[in-house]
Chain A
């Protein structure tokens, strides 16, 4: 996912000299070609996310289009006030790219788990949030991210997600659907979609819910109120409080729809391990998701 993104950015930057790639001393092996071939548009700012974010705002105020590239909580929580005051309040063209959505950096530990960013950042004004599930969604989103003005936030998985949305149909910018039940939909964001798709293997095909992958949160406002499912299950590799499911609930608040949210109830400092282990521990793996889907299906039959 990160390679796909950087390659697309590299191609775009060759044609647009105002595009800058700024990193907080991260991106080993990923940013090399960009840095080597476009040295005037690449900046390793050093390990100083707060100043980096403020400077990105300053660069954007002069017409540059900085893309800040770093891992998880560093270009987000570490510099949240710079994002709020210097980027969002000033409504400047800064794109923040955070690597390692959810538990992508599982064994790296708590500091590297990016599972509260949607809650924090969705409260900020003017900020567009993008959360692709795989490289296909990155490819689809990239022109939109490039064309969009103002503050943007892109959360990426670490890599190896493959092409899980290959059979999905895009119905709006950043909203793709795998058709199934007309009454029951599973709505997800980010690469936890792979667990949802695996979970479907355990469900009889005629009972499959519709699966909706949301990678562009701006589209939710227009799209979600239009949908006509009786039951919706949201799935996110993120805390439930203020997260993706909460956003869906906000958009559905005027509709008569039953919503169940699957996500992290609260992050424990005692659980550590790989992404797969953590997904299993927080009941976010395909087995747990299949069970949750079956429970919903049973409720529909009743």
Chain B
């Protein structure tokens, strides 16, 4: 997708894709989770979200149309791409406040479903994130799950060199959230974390690797922007295929 369209953000997609794959698989396979709503606030990882939804046959348009003229699968998350996308995103810091509203609505309606919102660690720079950090515990939104894709890289550099974020867990705990920390590529850990019934809003710090699975993309700022050439794409696929074997 990113090779053909020459689109950016393959590194971001690979860091978040396991989180999305597990959350959407749980929603698809587990009847109890079928009404969960999953929001991807880091809208620049749209290709990752579309790929997951396509694998589960939940996408309205073929994956090949990504970033093609007239396609609904444009480069940042579009709610028209699938009925499973509650919000179009692309500007950072929008997903969590919207998710607050969804979780508040479900609480008022007596629905027990989870609202899962995935944000990038870069979104911890946004004011709305910390506004929402205050709001969710105030309204006892215990069915709200925030997953922070902690890949330690933001647009121009490493997060800790841009705005120091560590320690993340105590910050959210002090705001009144329950916090867990997991390996963000470990499917068992992801599933256990999002299946946990918390009495408070739940913040999951998912430690991830930007560009995960492709050695030359991992932990590289360059791959926030670059689209892989055909040669690089083939190299990446062969590495992923060798791991799968």
Contacts and interface: CB of A to CB of B under 8 A. Distances in A.
A85 B134 contact: no
A50 to B, nearest CB: 5
B88 A55 contact: no
Interface string A39-66: 0100101101011111111111111100
Interface residues on A, range: 20 to 34
B115 to A, nearest CB: 8
A80 to B, nearest CB: 11
Contact of A85 (B91, B102, B108, B127): B91
B177 to A, nearest CB: 15
B82 interface: no
Given A48-B134, A50-B131, A61-B86, A55 B104 contact: yes
Given A45-B135, A46-B134, A48-B135, A54 B100 contact: yes
Interface SS majority for chain A: helix
A253 B93 CA distance: 40
A61 B102 contact: yes
A300 to B, nearest CB: 50
Given A62-B109, A82-B94, A86-B94, A57 B101 contact: yes
A63 B87 CA distance: 15
A56 B127 contact: no
Nearest to B86: A61
Interface string B94-119: 10111111111110110000000000
B79 interface: yes
Contacts of A86: 87, 94, 97-98
A62 B106 contact: yes
B84 to A, nearest CB: 13
A81 interface: yes
Interface string A246-283: 00000000000000000000000000000000000000
Nearest to B79: A90
A57 B99 CA distance: 9
A63 B98 contact: no
Contacts of B94: 54, 81-82, 85-86
A62 B138 CA distance: 20
B88 A56 contact: no
B172 to A, nearest CB: 16
Given A46-B134, A48-B134, A85-B88, A55 B106 contact: no
B128 interface: yes
A90 B131 contact: no
Contacts of B99: 58
B107 to A, nearest CB: 10
B125 interface: no
B132 interface: yes
A136 B79 CA distance: 40
Contacts of B96: 51, 54
A63 B111 CA distance: 13
A79 to B, nearest CB: 9
A221 interface: no
A89 interface: yes
Given A81-B91, A82-B94, A85-B88, A58 B101 contact: yes
Contacts of B131: 46, 48, 50-51
A94 to B, nearest CB: 10
B135 to A, nearest CB: 6
Contact of A63 (B91, B104, B105): B105
Contacts of B87: 57-58, 61, 86, 90
A109 B123 CA distance: 33
Contacts of B89: 85
Contacts of A40: 108
Contact of B100 (A58, A81, A85): A58
Contact of B101 (A59, A81, A85): A59
A58 B97 contact: yes
A54 B128 contact: yes
Interface string B130-142: 0110110010000
Nearest to A40: B108
A62 B89 CA distance: 18
B101 A60 contact: yes
Interface string A60-76: 11111000000000000
B105 A59 contact: yes
Nearest to B102: A58
Q: Which among A48, A58, A60 has the greatest number of chain B C-beta atoms within 10 A? A: A58
Given A60-B101, A82-B97, A90-B87, A55 B135 contact: yes
Interface string B68-79: 000000000001
Given A45-B135, A54-B94, A62-B106, A90 B88 contact: yes
6 contacts: A50-B128, A51-B132, A54-B96, A57-B101, A60-B101, A89-B88
Interface of B: 79, 86-91, 93-94, 96-106, 108-109, 127-128, 131-132, 134-135, 138
What 8 A-B pairs have minimum CB-CB distances, sorted nearest first? A58-B101, A54-B97, A62-B105, A55-B101, A48-B131, A51-B131, A51-B97, A59-B101
